[in-house]
């Protein structure tokens, strides 16, 4: 038996900040938690997180990412492949150059918020 949302509340998404999860459909919440966990796993690798921070500004090619990260092409490509498998980045080919961008605006918002929360004060101090 699943509980029904209260008036003004839908079961399609999590409650807004400050709202209570009580009375929410646990199956829906479990699915949402699984999706969130998958995104957080992808973000848990330093290089992948750096790549996503850089891509949150605008799309970049592998060679641009190599230069910005000071990493070899193989290392950058390996992490981009993982981000593609997780459906966090997409590609656009322009001749021989492949450009990467963040697939989902919500993911861009998450990585930007994460940067602002954890690194924003360090930027202000320097």
Q: Could you read off the pLDDT of 100-126 as tens digits, one per residue?
A: 999 988 889 999 998 898 887 655 555
This prediction has a pTM of 0.73
- In what order do the strands lie in the sheet containing 60-61? 60-61, 97-102, 89-94
According to DSSP, residue 92 is labeled: E
Interval 49-100: pLDDT, tens: 999 999 999 999 999 999 999 999 999 999 999 999 999 999 999 999 999 9
Alpha carbons 119 and 105: distance in angstroms, whole number? 20
Question: CATH number of the domain at 26-115, please?
Answer: 1.10.10.10
Q: What are phi and psi of 8, to 5 degrees?
A: 80, 0
According to DSSP, residue 23 is labeled: T
């Amino acid at each position: 038996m699943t509980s029904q949302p209260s008036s003004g509340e839908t079961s399609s998404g999590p409650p807004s900040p400050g709202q209570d999860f009580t009375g929410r459909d646990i199956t829906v919440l479990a699915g949402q938690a699984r999706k969130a966990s998958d995104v957080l796993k992808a973000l848990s690798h330093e290089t992948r997180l750096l790549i996503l921070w850089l891509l949150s500004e605008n799309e970049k090619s592998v060679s641009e990412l190599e230069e910005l990260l000071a990493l070899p092409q193989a290392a950058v490509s390996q992490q981009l492949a993982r981000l593609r498998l997780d459906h966090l980045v997409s590609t656009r080919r322009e001749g021989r150059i492949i450009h990467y961008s963040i697939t989902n605006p919500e993911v861009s918002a998450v990585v930007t918020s994460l940067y602002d929360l954890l690194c924003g004060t360090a930027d202000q101090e320097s």
